[in-house]
Amino acid sequence: MLKISDFKSVLRHIVKNNRHLQQTGKKKNTIAIESAPGIGKTSAVIQLAEELNLNHAKVNLAQCEQTGDLLGFPIREFEYIDGEELRWINEVEIRNQKNELRLTGLTRTSYCQPSWVPRDNRGTILLLDDYNRAAPHIISATMELLDRQEFIGWTLPEDTHIVLSMNPDTGDHYVTPMDNAQKTRYIKLEMKFDIQEWAHWAELEGVDSRCINFLLLNPELIKGDVNARIATDFFNSISSLPEFNTEEAFYLIQNLGSGSVGQEFTQMFIMFINNRLDKLPHPDKIMEAEKGEAAISLIESATGKAKTRDYKQNIASLLSVRISNYAQRMVEEKKFVQKQHIPRLQEIILSEVFTHDINFNFIKTLNANNKFNGIIANAKIAKMVMR
């Protein structure tokens, strides 16, 4: 099963490969991505479209009642003589003609191009969302679209790449069974939830810092009916509370949690608050502290001294993830200052406030972004990596 980043890599290849297939006159591949709800399928497709400078069009098939909602409605066309050629014109276009046409008397029925089909020259990723939650006649109506990227009377623009999002047919979701003729029109990939990728996304989206910490410490709570989407909705519903450990906050958390993420998740969240883990230092306090000693002190106050019996390995691992994600968020928002922030990251690494394995993963994660290449330019850090 693929993480979101793996799926995006595969889809990036498919876009490139589809362009090659199109140039050689072969039909393009359609990709289906299957996972439980709330994993981030739709967001991943839209993000990749933006990264590749492509349009993205989303059609929710579960909301389509008639084939016309998806593929366009019938329209009459009339044959006419244009010089020495025979052409066709539809009933809307004919009303806009200023000159009288030489009609032959022949008519036919075609279909209007639906509004979701892009009109500009930029390529497009077309997401047919909730594909296997659609009615059987809607799924059947898409077969030619998936196979040839065309329907009666119109064709998708060049450089269009179709992606289907699906839920697994495990009995936990209301889905429409499909036969082999339908299944052979796409390549199916399976996606799984990954806490590290969710934490990175949540940092960029500004999800409440306290809540990010909670889920990093308790990723096993994302299971069954509790998916990342409903957990994020719960976190957003309490994010305006300045303090979680008041009587009013507990009342709201208990009731909002019970109505969304369930009792187990809610009780674990309350235990998290009672253990004062919602008071862990925010990464901006660490990264923006005036002096390195102050930044290190904030980490040590939460984790204890490395290599000691009381050292909190799970908290140290959490803070390393939060700091690296925060630094990458600063890059995304163009607030990252190499002269200021690279030395701070180096100070954290060299202080060995994190154990070697956490430090190694911390460096590896940062080094994946070329904005942080200056970190391992430090000879001591390079040596640590080579240990």
CATH number of the domain residue 145 falls in: 3.40.50.300
pTM > 0.85: no
Q: Which amino acid is at 212?
A: I
User: Residue 370 is part of which domain span?
Assistant: 283-386
My answer on whether 363 and 289 are in the same domain is yes
My answer on whether 119 and 139 are in the same domain is yes
Q: Which two tokens stand for residue 318?
A: 């959490």
My answer on whether 123 and 48 are in the same domain is yes
Question: CA–CA separation, 97 vs 114, rounded Å?
Answer: 22
In the DSSP assignment, the letter for residue 275 is T
Average pLDDT along the chain, 387 residues, taken 10 residues at a time: 92 96 93 89 91 91 83 86 88 81 88 78 90 90 87 84 89 81 91 93 94 96 92 96 95 96 96 96 93 93 89 95 93 88 92 91 85 77 70
My answer on whether 16 and 42 are in the same domain is yes
Q: Which two tokens stand for residue 200?
A: 């990175």
Domain boundary among 249, 279, 309: 279
My answer on whether 177 and 44 are in the same domain is yes
Quick one: which of 189, 61, 59 has its CA closest to 127?
Answer: 59
* SS3 labels along 24-35: CCCCCCCEEEEC
My answer on whether 212 and 163 are in the same domain is no
Residue 111: per-residue pLDDT: 79
My answer on whether 349 and 313 are in the same domain is yes
Matching residue, tokens 């060049």 = 158
Domain boundary among 161, 190, 219: 190
Tally of structural domains, the chain: 4
Q: Which two tokens stand for residue 214?
A: 């909670």
My answer on whether 36 and 119 are in the same domain is yes
My answer on whether 373 and 252 are in the same domain is no
Angle between helix 313-332 and 338-350 (nearest 10) = 170
Question: CA–CA separation, 248 vs 244, rounded Å?
Answer: 9
Domain boundary among 279, 300, 329: 279
Residue 250: per-residue pLDDT: 95
Beta bridge partners of 109: 76
My answer on whether 296 and 369 are in the same domain is yes
The CA-to-CA distance between both ends of the chain, in Å, stands at 32
Question: CA–CA separation, 22 vs 10, rounded Å?
Answer: 18
Residue 387: per-residue pLDDT: 62
Beta bridge partners of 54: none
Tell me how far CA of residue 136 lies from CA of 26, 62, 108, 111, 353, in angstroms: 28, 10, 27, 21, 58
Radius of gyration of the chain (CA): 27
Q: Which two tokens stand for residue 314?
A: 């799970």
SS3 295: helix
H or E, element range at 190: strand 187-190
My answer on whether 308 and 382 are in the same domain is yes
My answer on whether 125 and 244 are in the same domain is no
Burial 123-141 (b: 16+ CB within 10 A, else e): bbbbbbbbbbbbeeebbeb
Residue 385: per-residue pLDDT: 66
